[in-house]
Amino acid sequence: MRFADFLARLITGHRGWIVVFLLAMTALSAYGFFSRRTPAMDTENNRSQVDNSQLRSEDTDYGFSAVDCLIVVEIDDLYSRDTVVSLRRMVDRLEQLPYIATVIWADRVPMLNMFGLAEPLFPPPDASAGRFRAARQRAEAHPLVHGQLISADASTLLMPVTFDWVHVKDDEDCTVELLRVAREAVADQADIRVRITGRVPLYVGYQQALDHNQMKYFAISFGLIVVLAMILFRGIKAVLIVTAAPILGVCWTLGIVNLMDALSNPLTAVVLPVLLSMVGLTDGIHIMVHIRRRRAEGMEPLPAARSAIEEVGLACALTSLTTAVGFASLMLASNNFVSEFGQSCAIGVGITFMAVVTVIPLLCSTWIGKNIHLGQELDLIGRGMRHAGGFMDFVLRWSRPVTIGGILVTLLFASTLFTLRPDELTSDGQPEDSEVYQALAHCDRTFGGIGFAQAIIKWDDSVDSQSPQILEAIADVEQIIADESLLNYPLSLHDLLGAFPQQGDDPARQMTFISLLPPPIRNAFYSKVKQESVVTMRIEDLGIAKYQPVFQRVTEQFSRLENSHPGFTFNLAGEPVRRSKVIYQIVIDLVRSLGTAAVIIFIVLTLVYRSLRLGLLTIIPNMFPLMFTGAVLAVTGQPLNVAAVCSFTVCLGIAVDDTIHFLTRYQVERRNGHGVEESLRRSFTTVGTVLVTTTLILVAGFSTVLFSDLAGHRAFALMAVCTIASALVGDLLLLPAMLNWFRGKEDEGRRQDLDVTD
């Protein structure tokens, strides 16, 4: 208790310096928050600028893998004069926009002919209706058009767009304004419907939905928390003081981590405020309840504040320490994304602890907290817990079967975790009713997806740059891709050369036509200098869980293919492949760090309480809520994505916090000379009141997010509600039962007496 005594004397004995400290922290965080703008969108823009600098060479990206936006045009009759005229007008209007770098569409794709003639796919406006209908046959015969720019049923047309980011002034230029210009250009054709999707619109849509949902549900959740806290505390001053501390801690942390450029990490920006709010609110309620009790007993404001720090401060320090250590373990992850997140959370937990243990006692010891105890006698939860003695009698009487049942149920829940697999979908970050999401879903159905993976075929100097072996290797790669139902519309040099008339299936003869390919098309799929050829394939938004085994099988077959093609190497590349590896590694890192955090927390608790027995007894009560939530995920078919694992990590901190507060109070009661049963009853009444209160408040706050239109938010909220609610079961049912059954040596005789009485 020496640390708690020192902390109490420091905070209550030097209030002037504490005020100076609070002002200094606020000034530092304000400087950090306003002096550096969070570069979330800038990061995306900068990456796109790099991509576009490559695209703005003399070659157009006919591989379609690095385009910024896709204009999706749904048409009832594509091959008609009026439709083609309207589409040409739309493209002309789009190209007049200063921020449009390139627009690729079927009418401008170079034709593949023996004479190298550049002619449009569609005939001129004054052509006959028959010539427009004949354009369909030309489109279906062109490998770059059929299934790539025009769907197989000719109901949808894609126009890949790249942006000139120098002239982009606002996010709406890439979305709302672009869509407005496109729709106005074809307004005379009622059967033409235009939408947009692609990398940039999806990113902008995600950011807008994220900002909207965060502001909306933060306001709703915070309002609900305040109202519920007022009902439970029966005092507006107590509510305002309790909520002010974690809010100040969140603001301090956001400013400081932004000064470190850490808010560019979206995981930090989304999860960190939620985590700190929960941890700060939980510890703040413990301190406030203690202060109100002491004030109601007649203690003066300053001694009451000092008493709270002395008796509850150590538990709050331990909860912050274990939570910070757990998150610090994330810094060992191989992925910088996860490592930065862990660092920010560890820093934030420490900062929030300082805010809670300084702000609440300081305000309660001034005129603001003069009547802070009024309404304490009307505390609904406290009165209910005092009348719930029968529950603790049941736990004490049946400690052994409750403990055994808790262990078995925890193991049963744990067995379901093996069915969970890492996964992530692009659509999880989009409202299901948004046009960008609907366009993405439409492209998945009609084009087999808008994601692109590439098979990279390289050859060494032993292979001639026009050797027919190149086409033979490409054909084998295409066959491997064709055997995978989730890989759609492969496109390669083999397909392009096969489109030339009267050249047969002889690879040697086909390779002689390479020089006839238009340079932009040839360079997208074949490079003599790099000694490589590329096969592209479309990927649907089905999640990495479905594509991970597909990519693995293809990679294994590529390895075997090298044995039959000496001098060649085969690799799978592209954004979906890279993202699959990254997301999988992030989830694995988080899972490993979660396990590491659990071990570290167990060690810390063992050392702090100086008891291996108590350390071991905390394992099941803290694992039970995590295993229960994992079972809920498995039963409901939820994926193990980044948000889910982060929820595990966040809620592990909450579960451990509750355990520490209960154990700390239990030890205080034991030191006061009470027996095991009486100490558990007293801990149940005092700390249990706070645990029930915080659980009700947090569950109510997170429940509002279950109505979010973002799937990721709903999954996070579901897990948070399940974990926090089940943590209460672990701490008020399993932990007391285990403490009663597995007593220390000094209580052996008393336990035997209890068994005889039973």
**Mean pLDDT (the chain, rounded):** 82
- Per-residue pLDDT at 244: 85
645-704 pLDDT, tens digit each? 777 776 677 778 888 888 888 888 888 888 889 999 988 888 888 888 888 877 877 787
* Of residues 467, 550, 544, the one with CA closest to residue 511: 467
Nearest 10 degrees: Cα torsion 55, 59, 62, 67: 10
- Per-residue pLDDT at 623: 87
pLDDT above 60 (res 39):
no
- Per-residue pLDDT at 375: 60
**Read out DSSP for 278-321?**
HHHHHHHHHHHHHHHHHHHTT--HHHHHHHHHHHHHHHHHHHHH
pLDDT above 60 (res 295):
yes
156-163 and 532-539 as β-strands: parallel, antiparallel, unpaired? unpaired
The mean-pLDDT minimum among 447-451, 633-637, 708-712, 734-738 falls in 708-712
- Per-residue pLDDT at 712: 74
β-partners of residue 451 are 539
**Cα–Cα distance for residue pair 57/741, rounded to 1 Å:** 75
SS3 103: strand
- CATH for 10-33+236-372 is 1.20.1640.10
- Per-residue pLDDT at 309: 86
- Global pTM reads 0.75
For the sheet with 192-197, list strands across it.
100-103, 156-163, 69-75, 192-197
- Per-residue pLDDT at 270: 65
SS3 456: strand
Out of 8-12, 368-372, 560-564, give the one with best mean pLDDT. 560-564
Q: Of how many residues is the chain composed?
A: 758
- Rounded to the nearest 5°, which phi and psi values hold at 528? -70, -35
Q: Which fold has domain 68-197?
A: Alpha-Beta Plaits (3.30.70)
- Per-residue pLDDT at 263: 62
pLDDT class of 752 with cuts at 50, 70, 90? very low
**Cα–Cα distance for residue pair 738/412, rounded to 1 Å:** 19
Helices and strands: H and E segment counts in the chain:
28, 9
pLDDT above 80 (res 274):
no
pLDDT above 70 (res 528):
yes
Q: Output DSSP code: residue 746.
A: G
Beta carbons of 153 and 47 less than 8 angstroms apart: no
pLDDT above 70 (res 240):
yes
The H or E element containing residue 573 is strand 568-574
Beta carbons of 728 and 658 less than 8 angstroms apart: yes
Helices (H), 637-746: 642-671, 676-703, 711-729, 735-741
The mean-pLDDT minimum among 187-196, 205-214, 358-367, 483-492 falls in 205-214
- Per-residue pLDDT at 203: 87
pLDDT above 60 (res 114):
no
Give the mean model confidence (pLDDT) for residues 468-486.
Answer: 93
Out of 325-329, 435-439, 658-662, 719-723, give the one with best mean pLDDT. 435-439
Out of 558-567, 581-590, 616-625, 656-665, give the one with best mean pLDDT. 558-567
- Per-residue pLDDT at 700: 79
Place of tokens 């949902």: 213
Terminal C-alpha separation, the chain: 37
* % residues pLDDT > 90 (the chain): 26
581-599 pLDDT, tens digit each? 877 777 777 677 677 777 8
- Per-residue pLDDT at 258: 82
Note whether 10-33+236-372 and 379-424+573-758 share their fold: yes
Instruction: Count Cα neighbours of 459 within 13 Å in the Cβ-side half-sphere.
Output: 24
- Per-residue pLDDT at 303: 87
- Per-residue pLDDT at 234: 65
pLDDT class of 407 with cuts at 50, 70, 90? very high
- Per-residue pLDDT at 444: 93
β-partners of residue 195 are 72
Residues 6+ away with beta carbon under 8 Å from 502: none
The structural architecture, per CATH, of the domain 379-424+573-758 is Up-down Bundle (1.20)
Q: Where are the domains of the chain?
A: 10-33+236-372, 68-197, 379-424+573-758, 443-542
Give the mean model confidence (pLDDT) for residues 252-264.
Answer: 78
133-186 pLDDT, tens digit each? 888 888 888 898 999 999 999 999 999 999 999 999 888 888 999 999 999 999
44-99 pLDDT, tens digit each? 343 333 344 333 334 466 777 778 999 999 998 899 889 999 999 999 999 999 99
pLDDT above 70 (res 749):
no
